[in-house]
Amino acid sequence: MEDVAQEPVPARLLLVDDEPNVLASLSRVLRHEGYVLHTAENGPSALAILEREPIDLLLCDFLMPDMDGAELCTRVRQQWPNCQRLLLTGQSDLAATVRAINDGHIYGYLAKPWDDDGLRLTLRQALQHQHAESERKRLEALTRTQNQELAALNATLEQRVEARTQELKQTSDMLEVAFQELRKSYVTATKVFSSLLSQRFPPRYQTNAKVGALVQAFATEHGLDEKLQHELELAAALYNLGKLAWSDRMIASPAEQLTGEQRELYRRYPTTGENLLMSLEHMEGTARLIRHHREHWNGNGFPDRLQGEAIPYGSRLLGLAVDFIELQRGMILPQQVTRPRALELLRKFSGRLYDPSLCRAFIALCQDKAPDLESHGRPVTALETRQLQPRMVLAQDIRSTSGMLLLHEGKELTAHLIEKLMLLEEAENQRYTILVYREDKDDE
């Protein structure tokens, strides 16, 4: 709704003179000026009107019986200081006029007989002065109030900023914890899905966990940024997603023995895996790593024949880890090769299939670290199930004999979980060796 402009309130004038003909003349001159006019014939009558009516300007005769104009102006100034005051005088006593100006603080005076135009102009100027003075006082009061509020605000501003900063920090910390928990749950869910995916493959070909351990160990050893580590962890768990549509016979066949249509299907599995993940917004980086993990350093890989540095770094690392594990499982060559032989083959094809500097660093890691590589550089202890204690933290995933993920790395053990593991051992008639992080006293 638009604001409706208010009509200006007309000025209210009080005319005081003991001569009725003078009051009549003044009223006639001012009748069409838009004022609200009140008249009185003496000082007491004027004061009575002021008691009951709001008056903006007083115009009074100087010489009046009982109470002269100077005394009336003084009384008005004392009781109604916002009322503007003017004298109308026919005498030339300068001393009396000065007393009226000093005691009554009058705005000015008009001599009898007056000039009508001069009278109108003087009244307009007096009212304008009164309005300006009222506005000045209003602004001064507003300024004082604002200065007081500003002083109070400044006195507490630092405390309020500090309190707000602490509040925001606490909120940020809580959100960070919630985000880390959510991402951990997301990774765990992906690993569970990966373990289900692995059931499609023979036990010897269930490679995701080993590939994941390798890339995580390398990422930790070389301080890769957190985002890339996260994408690599998910890519290692899902890199063979595109193989789900293969026949059992093709799954069980080494890559070097595939021919014809099978080889075409094989060359498409990275893009198939990427396509299955692209609809998930947070998996775009992971999907890209999976798409290019079969590219070769010399440009003869697939699917896009990328060469050298054009291949994403994470894809180059993932490809090395996949080949290292799959060579040992007999998934590339017709026979399984030993760990030393697999490392020898990686070294042989460095500069052709693999990034030379990355390949050297990867081989060095595999030669220096224990075969499992699940410790991420932290000290671990291998325990039997009956030796486990609540609050110990797993240093590797625990899987059933069929490859199903039971507990993920980083899980804190409870008495209930330990009991479940012991019951599972009895059901599967086997003994688990569990890796847990060792809390050395030197690390405390």
The predicted-structure confidence for 403-439, as pLDDT tens digits, reads as follows 677 888 788 999 999 998 898 888 888 777 787 887 7
Under CATH, which number does the domain 374-444 receive?
3.90.105
Per-residue three-class SS string for 191-207: HHHHHHHHCCCCHHHCC
* Burial label, 221 (beta-carbon count in 10 A; 0-12, 13-18, 19+): middle
**CB 291: neighbour CB atoms within 10 A?**
25
pLDDT in tens, 180-216: 665 565 666 666 666 666 777 888 888 888 898 889 8
Q: Which residue has the higher pLDDT, 138 or 157?
A: 138
Domain ranges of the chain: 12-134, 176-373, 374-444
- Phi-psi map region of 391: left, alpha, beta (phi>0 left; psi -120 to 50 alpha): left
- Pair of tokens at residue 183: 């991402």
Find out if CATH 3.40.220.10 is the number for domain 176-373.
no
Under CATH, which number does the domain 12-134 receive?
3.40.50.2300
For residue 373, what pLDDT is reported? Answer: 42
Going by pLDDT thresholds of 50, 70 and 90, the confidence category of residue 6 is: low
pLDDT in tens, 302-360: 999 999 999 999 999 999 999 999 998 899 998 888 888 888 999 999 999 999 999 99
pLDDT in tens, 110-143: 888 889 999 999 999 989 988 888 888 889 889 8
**CB 275: neighbour CB atoms within 10 A?**
15
- Pair of tokens at residue 424: 């599972």
With a CB cutoff of 8 Å and minimum separation 6, the contacts of 59 are: 13, 14, 15, 16, 26, 86, 87, 88, 110, 123
